[in-house]
Amino acid sequence: MQEDNKKENKNDRRDFLKKGLLGGSVLAAGAIGLNRVFAGEKVKVVSPDGKVYEASADNLKEFHPKPVTNDEARKGIAGKKFVMVIDESKCDGCKKCTEACQAMHFTESDREWMKVFTMKDSDATAPYFFPKPCFHCDNPPCTKVCPVNATFKRQDGIVLIDNERCIGCRMCMAACPYSTRFFNWSHPDPKQTAAIGDAPYSPESSYPRRMGTVEKCDFCPDMLRQGKMPACVSSCPMDAIYFGDQNEDAVTNASGVTVKLGQLLEDNAGYRHMEELGTEPRVYYLPPKNRKYPIPDVKNAEKGKKSKKMPGMDNGAMQM
């Protein structure tokens, strides 16, 4: 195993040098955190052999570290139980989480793995924003029905999809009560394919995507392996999303504030969405009490609404 890694590193370096010399572009290690780099900016990057380069951010390309093996990706990270907490009282519906997620996973433009719903439970109750990733349920309806074990539950609580095995029957999409799963109906967008480049596939990165397979929010396990937060968490300007390890009873938000999970849920009456379905989500919500933003415009919710069906709030409202 150790030797394999060495060999791979060597290859990576050779690749790096070749590309660096030929293309005149500089590959930045993923560690730099491209999410924080803006176009036109000059950045310093360190090559694997220790030399420092200064390069325009435009020339930077995401460097893809060799992903873990498929077996490893199916097992998950030992000793962890990942959990997310979303504070509805802080979310102002800016959708930065959605954008960061789309950038991180090179998703197609019509696809929001992290979708911000505008909810209104009933006529008399106040509307609120409801960012919804995959819930990574502990009793996942989706993995149960998969005929080929292409979607699976890992020991760290994450539910992933292996798009090299998926046969595209869409049974999991029918089974998921939260409409969390997306299907690659057509060939991937060439622009996104170009951006992904020759990155090797891993269920942990969920790209390159393949036509005829299912995909969804993956809790960014490739970032977690590097000890970093999922894209949606670290990009939230309102610090509304916490992420952490249930075993450690600690969750952290974008500002780096770490709190006790149990305490957070207890103090704020944390709940899980549609608990009555028994899916045991790994995503908790804090109710929108004492909101830090103006009341959401419910008209947002009408965007994807059916034109001639269902009068009133029926489609805009959460159907509980």
Partner 1 sequence: MTNDNFDLKKEIAILEEDCLRPTRTFGRSTQIWVGALLVVIGWGLYCFIHQLSHGLGVTAMRDYVSWGLYISTFVFFIGISHSGTLVSAILRITKQEWRRPITRSAELLTFVSLCFGGIQPIIDLGRPDRIANLVIFGRLQSPLIWDIISICTYFAGSTVFLFLPMIPDMALCRDRLTVVDSRFKRFKKWLYTFMAIGWTGTKSQWHRLEKTMNIMTIVIIPVAVSVHTVVSYIFAMTLRPGWDSTVFGPYFVAGALYSGSACVILGMAAFRKLYHLEKYITPRHFDLIGRVVLALTLIYAYLNLNEYWIPAYKMATAEGHLLSDLFYGSYSKVFWTCQFGTVLLPILIMSFPKGRKIGPLVVTCIIIAAGAWVKRYLIVVPTLLHPFMPIQEVPAAWSSYFPNYVEFSVTAACLAGIFLVITLFSKIFPMMAVWEVAEGIELDHDKKVAIEIREERVITDETELARIATLKNGQVTPTASLNETL
Residues in touch with partner 1 (CB under 8 A): 110, 112, 115-119, 132, 141, 144-150, 165-171, 173-175, 177-179, 181-187, 210-214, 274, 277, 279, 300-301, 303-310, 314-320
- Please say which residue, 2 or 186, places its beta carbon nearer to partner 1: 186
CA distance 255 to 215: 29
Q: C-beta of 244: minimal distance to partner 1 in Å?
A: 25
Q: C-beta of 180: minimal distance to partner 1 in Å?
A: 8
Here the tokens at position 290 are: 């004492």
- Please say which residue, 35 or 149, places its beta carbon nearer to partner 1: 149
The verdict on whether omega for the bond into residue 208 sits within 30 degrees of 0, i.e. cis, is yes
- Please say which residue, 211 or 257, places its beta carbon nearer to partner 1: 211
Q: C-beta of 204: minimal distance to partner 1 in Å?
A: 19
Q: C-beta of 234: minimal distance to partner 1 in Å?
A: 22
Here the tokens at position 213 are: 């397979």
Cβ-based neighbours of 72, under 8 Å, separated by 6 or more: none
CA distance 296 to 14: 52
Here the tokens at position 220 are: 């960014």
Q: What is 21-38 written as a DSSP string?
A: HHH---EEPGGG-GGG--
Q: C-beta of 291: minimal distance to partner 1 in Å?
A: 20
- Please say which residue, 109 or 290, places its beta carbon nearer to partner 1: 109
Q: Residue 181 CB: number of other CB atoms within 10 A?
A: 20
- Please say which residue, 148 or 269, places its beta carbon nearer to partner 1: 148
